[in-house]
Amino acid sequence: MISDPHNLAWLFNIRGSDVSYTPLPIGWAYLPLEGRPVVFLDGRKLAPASRQSLSRQADVLEPDALLGFVEDLGRQGARVAFDAATAPAYLTQAIERAGGKADIGPDPITLMKAKKNAFELAGSRSAHQRDGAAMANFLSWFATEAPRGRLTEIEAVKALETFRRASPGLKDLSFPTIAGAGPNSAIPHYRVSEASNRKIGSGIFLIDSGAQYEDGTTDITRTIAVGRPSALMRDRFTRVLKGHIAVARAIFPPGTNGAQIDALARGALWRAGVDFDHGTGHGIGSYLSVHEGPQRIAKTGMTALAPGMIISNEPGYYSAGAFGIRIENLLAVEAKTIAGGERPMLGFETLTFAPIDLTLVEPKLMDADEIAWLDSYHTRVRKTLSPRVDASTRAWLVKATRHLAVVKARRG
């Protein structure tokens, strides 16, 4: 019995609009070992073409038929698996009262859904390229507007949404945009309101946002300096960046879980006696939830990372009342071939395309491999996004993705 709407949507390849920011149809499904599945959905929400397509895969009933259907299974002595995370007690109790058996445990579809197939991965890559162009347009605009001192957090949110809505295939945002200036950037899950709305002045501005496209779901965070950042800001930003790069470059054997990867994101921060109080990464759906399990990079992430999983890489640093930093890209787990290696290995493909603010980077804190990764990433960003943006943004992109040696030389 499928009670998680994410798993229902994935299994039958359907989407809906019952939940804000996540394209879910609220419903149920019964998946027998033999015979046709049964889907319980409000028929008023099914367009004729959708009903016809779904009916080729399953019998379609109204949701109010669900309880009686479960009771009938019980009277037949059926043994039915229910999802421990989402199945309501009234259904498991109903089948057992009627003489059946409820096996309560994890829904196996959750792990299946997490391992994206080749088509889903190709869609995610395409969605991230279009989303990256929208981000580049926004960041270029922000670089001109923010120094004037008149821009507010709400205006920045509206601007990014405007750039995103010009992207082909956009269906919605994937969550309400987080946009924090100054001390508001130090609140990890800040939501701007009319009451909290700040003008964006000199210092740190953090924006965490994402979108739902028909071929993929995105989530990206960029931390931007407005004016000249302090030495402390550059130090903390670079340490967060070093952790981000350590995760992005990680090579690990099959069976490795997110808890084992999590420490890589924190090492440079720990050496300075600081840390961050959230997980390093969460799973991402395929035109589904921006927060998807069971995979995660966190101290509690016990699920083994497997090829096809998409996961965020977002270490941070937060100084309450002062400023906050987070750098987030999405990664896809993939097989890696190691020359001379004796065992199969896994690593990550970076899916997100957007410049990382070089004015906040302190090159002296980075080693040669880290600098090479950042330069290579920025080269990919420039080559990928340049054909997708206008001339003004393209010129800004060239400067924003210059190699770190150039930045170091200009600082003397």
DSSP string for 125-180: HHHHHHHHHHHHHHHHHHHHHGGGT--BHHHHHHHHHHHHHTSTTEEEESSPPEEE
Closest by Cα among 249, 238, 250 to 317: 238
Q: For residue 15, what pLDDT is reported?
A: 95
Residue 205 CA neighbour count, 13 Å, CB half: 30
Closest by Cα among 120, 20, 23, 35 to 8: 23
Q: For residue 412, what pLDDT is reported?
A: 61
21: left (phi over 0), alpha (psi -120 to 50) or beta: left
| 310 alpha carbon, distance to own chain's centre | 8
Q: For residue 151, what pLDDT is reported?
A: 98
Please report where in the chains the tokens 């050496």 appear, as a residue.
Answer: 271
- In the chain, % helix, strand, coil (3-state, to 5) comes to 40, 20, 35
The tens place of each residue's pLDDT in the chain, 412 residues long, gives: 999 999 999 999 999 999 999 999 999 999 999 999 999 999 999 999 999 999 999 999 999 999 999 999 999 999 999 999 999 999 999 999 999 999 999 999 999 999 999 999 999 999 999 999 999 999 999 999 999 999 999 999 999 999 999 999 999 999 999 999 999 999 999 999 999 999 999 999 999 999 999 999 999 999 999 999 999 999 999 999 999 999 999 999 999 999 999 999 999 999 999 999 999 999 999 999 999 999 999 999 999 999 999 999 999 999 999 999 999 999 999 999 999 999 999 999 999 999 999 999 999 999 999 999 999 999 999 999 999 999 999 999 999 999 998 776 666 6
Q: For residue 223, what pLDDT is reported?
A: 98
What is the rounded CA–CA span in Å between residue 290 and residue 312? 10
Q: For residue 409, what pLDDT is reported?
A: 66
149: left (phi over 0), alpha (psi -120 to 50) or beta: left
Closest by Cα among 359, 323, 325, 324 to 240: 325
Q: For residue 341, what pLDDT is reported?
A: 94
- DSSP, collapsed to helix, strand or coil, labels residue 188 as coil
Looking at residue 154, its amino acid is: I
Q: For residue 146, what pLDDT is reported?
A: 98
| 354 alpha carbon, distance to own chain's centre | 15
Domains of the chain (ranges plus CATH)? 5-112 (3.40.350.10), 118-411 (3.90.230.10)
